[in-house]
Structures are given as C-alpha cells and as structure tokens.
Amino acid sequence: SRSLNLAVIPGDGIGREVVAQGLKVLSAVLPQDVKLETREYDLGAKRWHRTGETLPEAELDSLRRHDAILLGAIGDPSVPAGVLERGLLLKLRFAFDHYVNLRPSKLFPNTATPLAGRPEIDFVVVREGTEGPYTGNGGSLRTGTPAEVATEVSVNTAYGVERVVRDAFARADARPRKKLTLVHKNNVLVHAGHMWKRIFDRVAEEYPAVTTDYLHVDAATIFFVTQPERFDVIVTDNLFGDILTDLAAAVTGGIGLAASGNINPTGEFPSMFEPVHGSAPDIAGTGKADPTATVLSVALLLRHLGHEAEAVRVEEAVAADLADRGEPGSDAGASAAAGPRTTDGIGDALAARVAG
C-alpha cells in the first residue's frame, strides 16, 4: 500500500487554525490504501520565546525526510520582525531549494472582488524563490545614527534565473493559452533586469509555441486590476512576485483563497505548501480566518505527489463551497469581517464535500 509521510508546521496565529482544516480535508480525500503519516513540528513564536531557537539543524534534517511539508504561517508581533520570517520560513525555502514559488490565481464565483463579472481569470505566477533581495545580502553601517547607511543587495545568478525561467516556459507550453509574461523593472534595475530579459529571450527560442510578453512591474499592477485576463503564466523575481501575488489574491476573491507551493522541481528536497497569507494577528483566535487558501494548498500538494484525482476533488469541493456561499462578502474569505461560518465550519463543509 502507498503512504504519504507529511511534515506539518502550523506556525503562528491563524496558521495553526487553518492547518487543522487543511489536514481535515486531506484525511477525508485520501484513498483508503494511502497511509497518511503526519509529524507536527513545534516551530514559530512560542518555540522561539521558550528556547531562542528558530529552526535547529536536527529538525531541518528531520524535515528533509518527509514527502512534503504543509505550513500554516510564520510571524508574530511579539517577535522582532524578520527573526522568524528569515530564520524559519526563508531558511526552509533556501535549504530545500524551493526555486519555484507557484502561486495560481483564479476568479472564483461569489467572492468579494472588484472584478466580479469579468471574463475568466486564470493565471499562475511563477515567483523565483531562492534569490533576489531575499538572500540577506547587505548590511547597516552606523546603525541607529543620523548617518546610518543600509543596503539590501538583490542577488541574481544566471543559473538561478535560467532554471526558474525554464520552469515557467514548460508550464506555459503545457497550458491551452501558452502565454508567458516576464515581469521585471529593467528600465531601472538594468543589471538584473537585462540579465532576466536576455535569459528569457534565449529560452523563448526553444518554445516557439509560447507567446511571450514583457511588462515593467509597475505597469503589471495596472493590468492585474484592469485587464487580468491578459495573463496566463507570469515569471518574476522573488520580491516582485511576493507583492504581485497579494494583489492577485485581492482581485480574484480575497487573500483567504490564495494557495501556494514552494516547489523543488528536482525532487531532491521536499516541497512545501502554504497559503499566500500570513499569521493575521488581527484575527487570530477569533475563528474568522478562511481556511480555503490552505485547503487549496493541500490540492497543490496532492497534485505534486501524483494524486491528481484527489487534487481535482479538493478544487471542485472549494468551487462548489464558494458557489454556495451566497452573496459576495457574506463569508470569512471576503475580508477579515466575521462571516456566518467559522474557520472550523468551512473546514468541516469542505471535508464533507470531498468525502461524499
């Protein structure tokens, strides 16, 4: 019989609440002959306060041995900003070489969006996951003085750019519309921007069926709102991809619906699946968090591990649940406002749908 050996990092804030719902749906959808084994890792703010640790080597070694990782969210107002985000979340993405940060966006029916009634929106952002301004290169001189100097250096390697661009071309080539848009800012960031564009244009020659486009990131934000249907696959740098995918979530149904996969395409390391959103301290503990983004991340996890039929069942359950939600804005996904159902209630409804 088959097995799925899953590492679970609930993390902080609503991360713990939404991960419980993701696991509920995962257990309900898996076929009988797939043995689900989960191990929960106590990482995040509580652990840091207790021991000062973010991600000890022993746990990193242990995490490596799982088939995949499901993560809730990391970050807490009681911990200095960056300590957990860099020391835990980014450490995992870098250590497990998650160079493809996959963030799909679909316009769901019945959700609160300024784009309701628009043509079909269905695009995916392939966000570079291991380089750019996220590497931690830089520093501060004369910290805290009026003469302070701070730098954050964006690191872009030909190797790192080419592999993520290749992944994006392959994804575009496999989709019906076969369109790939590079988003950068090569009118200002001339060193990294021109390298990205050169590599993009060179790889494009190997994919004659793929239509290509280039947008500066500022213009891309316009089209995310005014013409989102023009996008199919987007490939972009780590920081641009971070910002664009929160915007994409907001215009296609809300941050409570946006899923992501931190993929290591070579399979050398486990891939990690998590909602795009954070720990939402403003609603943690209230039952208002929408777990749908985590449930859709579970669908990405299932697809990645070859359980395509189960991934589709989860996505169909979410679509049906959203269609049943009634008036836009009446449920938790719409905003941080209270809806008629709780986090747990939405998780139960989705688990029931995939099981039945």
CA distance linking residue 255 with residue 80, whole number of Å: 24
Q: Is 214 designated active site?
A: no
Laid out side by side, the sheet with 259-263 consists of: 34-40, 2-11, 68-73, 271-275, 259-263, 100-106, 122-128, 233-236, 179-184, 211-216
The verdict on whether residue 218 carries a ligand-binding annotation is: yes
Q: Are 74 and 41 in contact (CB under 8 A)?
A: no
Binding of ligand IPM at residue 276 (CB under 6 A)? yes
Residue 275's DSSP bridge partners are 259
Check binding of 12 to Mn ion (CB under 5 A): no
The reply, when asked if residue 356 is annotated as ligand binding, is no
Phi (first) and psi of residue 83, to 5 degrees? -60, -50
From the list 123, 133, 100, the residue with the least C-alpha distance to 213 is 123
Q: Which of residues 211-240 bind ligand IPM (CB under 6 A)?
A: none
Of the residues 12, 76, 128, 242, which one makes contact with Mn ion according to CB under 5 A: 242
Smallest separation, CB 158 to ligand NAD (Å): 28
Q: Is 127 annotated as a binding residue?
A: yes
Query: Could you say which residues in the range 30-49 bind ligand IPM, by CB under 6 A?
Result: none
**Paired tokens of 215:** 């947008």
**Residue listed under structure tokens 């619906």:** 257
Please indicate if the annotation marks 325 as binding a ligand.
no
The CB-of-246 to ligand NAD minimum distance in angstroms stands at 7
Q: Count Cα atoms within 13 angstroms, Cβ side, for 109.
A: 10
Coil, strand, or helix at residue 103?
strand
- Catalytic annotation present for 106: no
Binding site for ligand IPM (CB under 6 A): 75, 85, 89-90, 242, 276, 278
Binding residues, by number, are 93, 103, 127, 218, 242, 246, 278-290
Binding site for Mn ion (CB under 5 A): 242
Catalytic residues: 134, 185, 218, 242, 246
Binding site for ligand NAD (CB under 6 A): 14, 18, 73-75, 85, 89, 255-256, 274, 277-283, 289-290, 293, 332, 336
